[in-house]
Amino acid sequence: MTFEEFLQAELGALIRFAGAVTGDEHLAQDVLSDALLKITSRWRRVSAMADPGAYIRRVVVTTYLSDRRKAQRRKTEPTDDTARLDRATQDASEAVVQRDEVARLLAHLTPRQRVAIVLRYLLDQTDDQIADTLDCTVATVRSHLSHARATLRLVGSVPADRT
């Protein structure tokens, strides 16, 4: 499979993944293009893998986490409550208000917690798979998920920890 064929098949899914992980379309664009750039120089090896998509998602995650670390060092991040401006005026739409609340809660997650949540609830990955992507232990993954669920006040049919 060529890199172009791979992109044609997987770009849509990678875009959704990057958008979910970063929570910012411009950052997602940057992170994903950086990740794809890294992949191009090693495509022959990556394409021979059993699941190139999983490898590239891992590169997206590491690129994102690296970017967040750099952003923290730069100390130029705006308030994590990016929805504050939206709340300056009342929005008549209840749906928008609800979305605003979800975005506000998501903004309280750490980058690793957010990645863990995306991998679990968007890609339905097991704790082992998440641990592999985040390069940490399963126990750490469970801790990330637990804290994230508490922060998000997740209710309803929350799946139990899975291995």
Q: Which residues bind another protein (CB under 8 A)?
A: 2-4, 7, 11-12, 15-16, 18-20, 22-26, 28-30, 32-34, 36-37, 40-44, 98-99, 101-103, 105-106, 117-118, 121-122, 152-158
Closer to another protein by Cβ: residue 40 or 90: 40
Closer to another protein by Cβ: residue 42 or 84: 42
CB of 146 to another protein, least distance (A): 15
**Rg of the chain over CA atoms, in angstroms?**
17
Q: How many residues can be counted in the chain?
A: 163
Type of residue numbered 92:
A
Closer to another protein by Cβ: residue 75 or 153: 153
- What span, in angstroms and rounded, lies between the C-alpha atoms of 144 and 18? 19
Type of residue numbered 61:
V
CB of 53 to another protein, least distance (A): 16
Q: At how many degrees (to 10) do helices 94-106 and 138-152 cross? A: 150
- What span, in angstroms and rounded, lies between the C-alpha atoms of 113 and 120? 11
CB of 143 to another protein, least distance (A): 19
